[in-house]
Amino acid sequence: MDYCPFTGTPCSSPKVYHITDILGKEVKQMHFCQNCFLNQYKSKMHEVISFINCLISEKEKLLSKKCKCGWGLEDMAKIERIGCPECYETFKEELMPMIHKCQNGETHHIGKKPSNYEQLIEAKQQKLNVEEQIQTLRLKMAKAIEIENYEVAGVLKKKIEELQTKVNN
């Protein structure tokens, strides 16, 4: 037989209401029969229902809010784009937390180039230089084969293979 969480007295009625209370890492679950629940929370039910209605009203207001372009938050969420420049002002309160997160803590536009742009360009240039070297070595290898200098062609082939593994990694 279970005990009533309020009175501590034995209660054999089926538990139909369940409340989970989470405070930090502590999780407390309470299970109530209908009588105990209504006796304890009857006075507070009006407050709870009022609070839920307030939340629903706020959500409806937020979803009905539209920009001059006719877009709302639902439209933006569907296609994952902002409707127009005016949307940034209309939905500033809703968008700023997302912009802050996406731009590593910045709330204003910080440029079109990634922060490691210079490194990316340098790496690309190095790759192009290696590819040019491979092309030059292939031409030299073809000439060495043409004049039947297979030892030089073999050395050039090994160099080409080394450079290709460098490019692929």
- CB of 62 closer than 8 Å to CB of 73: yes
Local confidence band at 29 (pLDDT 50, 70, 90 cut-offs): confident
Indicate the SS3 state at residue 157: helix
| pLDDT higher than 90, residue 125 | no
Q: What pLDDT does 110 receive?
A: 64
The domains of the chain are located at 2-63, 65-102, 117-168
Amino acid in the structure at residue 66: K
For the full predicted model, state whether its pTM sits above 0.75: no
Lowest mean pLDDT among 64-73, 114-123, 133-142: 114-123
Give 32 or 154, the one with higher predicted confidence: 154
- What does the block give as tokens for 25? 């890492």
Q: How far apart are the first and last CA of the chain?
A: 68
Q: HEC profile for 20-61? A: EEEECCEEEEEEECHHHHHHHHHHHHHHHHHHHHHHHHHHHH
Average pLDDT (69-92) is 84
pLDDT value at position 82?
Answer: 82
Cα separations in angstroms, 90 against 93, 139, 166: 8, 62, 51
Q: Which phi and psi (to 5°) does residue 3 adopt?
A: -110, 150
Over 90: is that where the pLDDT of 123 sits? Answer: no
